[in-house]
């Protein structure tokens, strides 16, 4: 398998983007990604589009986006893996290059979730599990799935609602520094605890927002990197993946996501790094409990210690492992198809030491980063390790 590098990135503003359609939203990321890579639309032989797409009008988003962006004629694929759709699209582009079929690939993640009302969006996300059994019979919603994990985790390890709130406070702190984030204001623990209950113990400020947004990356082979004279490419060192049962009642426990554990072990093995080597991470914090479990699933700490390292500030800049210092899904936003690609954009900039403002730049020594993208409640998981 050949080496694959990220040579160009682009990112739209996340939020309620009613002023653009899905094609225009995608273009906001595609244009800067191509420009940064120093290539034209005609140079792209393969495009992977990550988009769930049930919220907006285009039934064939890859075709519509390619036409609008001037990419008609390139090989096209549309990828779906629930909330891990973006990372699945990255994997599609990565394997196309690593296998030798193409030397360049464009990966686009895009979603227009706010084309429908909140209740419809919640229902559509609630269908992402075992629809007939858990959604129809018991009314489980997406927050409800993670509430099951939160209550089990709190009961087992003694974490509190305040501990969950600390995750939201941290991520809003960094989201307030990110001009592309949806929620750009700091909050307090009391703000979280006093927000209304969505699915106990998860409250409004424990939950990520419903978001429109796009992100794009250009991937290149080692030969193409040399040809284009890319000075400091960011290499995809390894990608791990796994899945979990669609029916949560089949699972043996609710204190972590087995798919994330397996995916991370695969990624570490393929990249030749260990959890202790990671210097900055983007993890899937669709709900505050999800970030705490991710610390443990990824090996940043032992099982049952995730909430403790939040208390200690170890996942902030200056701590042991800065996590979600762009605001994460919680504050930056979670346009489902774009999230995994957005993670790679952020980490590429971190590894290049290009993040602005500088107060949001993680210190670098070994230049190793990790993206953890979960679909559903561990129904899918991709872990991507980047090196510079």
Catalytic positions, written as ranges: 83, 334
Alpha helices in the chain (DSSP H): 22-37, 61-68, 85-98, 118-126, 137-138, 142-157, 161-175, 189-194, 222-228, 258-271, 288-297, 306-311, 328-331, 336-352
Identify the helix (H) or strand (E) that includes residue 48: strand 46-50
55-63 long-range contacts (CB < 8 A, ≥24 apart) are 55/111, 55/112, 55/113, 55/114, 55/115, 55/116, 55/121, 55/124, 56/21, 56/22, 56/111, 56/112, 56/115, 57/21, 57/22, 57/115, 58/22, 58/23, 61/22, 61/110
Indicate the burial class of 190 (C-beta count within 10 angstroms; 0-12, 13-18, 19 or more): exposed
What SS3 class is residue 317? coil
CB atoms within 10 A of CB 367: 17
| Contact indicator for 333, 15 with CB cutoff of 8 Å | yes
Residue 55 · residue 119 · CB < 8 Å:
no
**Gap between the Cα atoms of 4 and 7, Å rounded:** 9
């Amino acid at each position: 398998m050949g080496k694959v590098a990220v040579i160009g990135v682009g990112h739209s503003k996340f939020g309620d983007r009613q002023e653009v359609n899905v094609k225009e939203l995608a273009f906001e990321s595609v244009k800067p990604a191509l420009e940064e890579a120093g290539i034209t639309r005609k140079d792209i032989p393969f495009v992977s589009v990550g988009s769930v797409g049930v919220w907006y009008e285009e039934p064939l988003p890859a075709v519509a986006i390619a036409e609008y962006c001037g990419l008609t004629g390139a090989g096209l694929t549309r990828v779906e893996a629930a909330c891990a759709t973006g990372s699945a699209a990255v994997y599609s582009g990565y394997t196309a290059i690593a296998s030798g079929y193409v030397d360049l690939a464009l990966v686009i993640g895009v979603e227009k979730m706010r084309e429908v009302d909140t209740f419809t969006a919640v229902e559509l996300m609630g269908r992402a599990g075992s629809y007939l059994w858990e959604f129809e019979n018991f009314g489980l919603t997406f927050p409800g799935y993670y509430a099951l994990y939160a209550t089990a985790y709190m009961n087992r390890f003694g974490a509190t609602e305040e501990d969950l709130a600390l995750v939201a406070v941290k991520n809003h702190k960094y989201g307030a520094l990110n001009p592309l984030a949806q929620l750009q204001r700091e909050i307090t623990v009391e703000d979280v605890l006093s927000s209304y209950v969505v699915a106990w113990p998860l409250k409004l400020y424990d939950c990520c927002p419903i978001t429109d947004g796009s992100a794009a990356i250009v991937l290149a082979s080692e030969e193409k990197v040399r040809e284009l004279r890319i000075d400091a490419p960011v290499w995809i060192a390894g990608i791990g993946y796994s899945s979990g049962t669609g029916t949560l009642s089949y699972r043996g426990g609710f204190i972590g996501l087995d798919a994330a554990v397996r995916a991370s072990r695969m990624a570490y093995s393929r990249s030749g790094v260990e959890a202790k080597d990671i210097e900055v991470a983007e993890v899937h914090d669709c709900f505050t409990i999800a970030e705490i479990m991710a610390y443990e699933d990824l090996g940043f700490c032992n099982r049952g210690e995730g909430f403790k390292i939040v208390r200690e500030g170890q996942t902030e800049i200056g701590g042991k492992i800065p996590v979600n210092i762009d605001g994460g899904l919680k504050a930056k936003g979670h346009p489902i198809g774009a999230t995994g690609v957005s993670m790679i954009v952020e980490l590429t900039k971190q590894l290049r030491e290009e993040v602005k403002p500088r107060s949001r730049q993680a210190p670098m020594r070994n230049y190793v980063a990790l993206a953890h993208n979960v679909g559903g409640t561990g129904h899918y998981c991709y872990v991507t390790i980047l090196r510079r």
